[in-house]
Amino acid sequence: MGQSKYEPLPPSDPRLPPGQRVQRGWPALHYGPVPRFKPPSWDLQVFGATASAEKHSWDFAGFNALPRTTVVADLHCVTKFSVLGNTWTGVSAAAVLDLVPPAPGVTHVMVWAEYGYSANLRLADFADPRTLLATHRNGEALTAEHGFPVRLVVPQLYAWKGPKWVRAVEYMRADRRGFWEERGYHNLADPWSEQRYSYQEDPGDGPLR
């Protein structure tokens, strides 16, 4: 018999949310094809309810010139595997908020990725110091399958809230469900509360369907 792809940990290990198990390696899970990266046309936009009422964007060189930060954090997939102790490097979401401030009344963001994929986040989760527009993991550039050139990492939420191939951040004054949230996933996605599916939502956890 082959070896298990999971590593057993004591049930009380503080790194694992309920129902999760440690994964060997890093599976590449995503919806749809892997996009081709085209540096001349790539940009990262911030739009919506910005303080200036204007859209801001960085081309590939401009984004890579932004200050870098490193976060050591785990990744928890809703399919019940966890990849622990990752060293992520990239641009902090808090830095984006400083560079392009949201207007008063902004409560949420929608993070947009290639092919129209989207994930909604409360502004507080996006502004968390652990949230990162990551370009590297464990000292190596992300592969295309894992989101190169930029993926969002939101360690405190299930990994579907961190899209690969990020292209834009929309500031919003009201919540809207993203791609997976419209298809039955929980609007908030806290792994420590096992917020996996929309039928588990309490009143106020998300916008009306």
Q: What pLDDT digit, counting tens, does each position of 122-157 carry?
A: 999 999 999 999 999 999 999 999 999 999 999 999
pLDDT at position 1 over 60 = no
pLDDT of residue 97: 98
Q: Among residues 143, 164, 165, which one has the least CA distance to residue 43?
A: 165
pLDDT at position 32 over 90 = no
Fold assignment, 41-174: Sulfite Oxidase; Chain A, domain 2 (3.90.420)
Percent of the chain beyond pLDDT 70?
Answer: 93
DSSP string, the chain: -PPPSEE---TT-TTSPTT-EEESS-----SSPPPPP-GGG-EEEEEESBTTSS-EEEEHHHHHTS--EEEEEEEE-TTSEEEEEEEEEEEEHHHHHHHSPBPTT--EEEEEEGGG-EEEEEHHHHHSTT-EEEEEETTEEPPGGGTTT-EEE-TTS-GGGS-SSEEEEEEESS----TTGGGTB-SS--GGGT--BGGGPPTTSS---
pLDDT at position 7 over 60 = no
* Average pLDDT along the chain: 92
pLDDT at position 80 over 60 = yes
pLDDT at position 189 over 70 = yes
pLDDT of residue 208: 76
pLDDT of residue 23: 82
pLDDT of residue 8: 53
Q: Give residue 33's pLDDT band: very low, low, confident or very high (50, 70, 90).
A: confident
pLDDT of residue 15: 87
pLDDT digits (tens, 9 = 90+) for 88-125: 999 999 999 999 999 999 999 999 999 999 999 999 99
pLDDT of residue 6: 47
How many Å apart are CA 140 and CA 67, to the nearest integer?
17
pLDDT of residue 13: 72
> Token match 């919540």: residue?
175
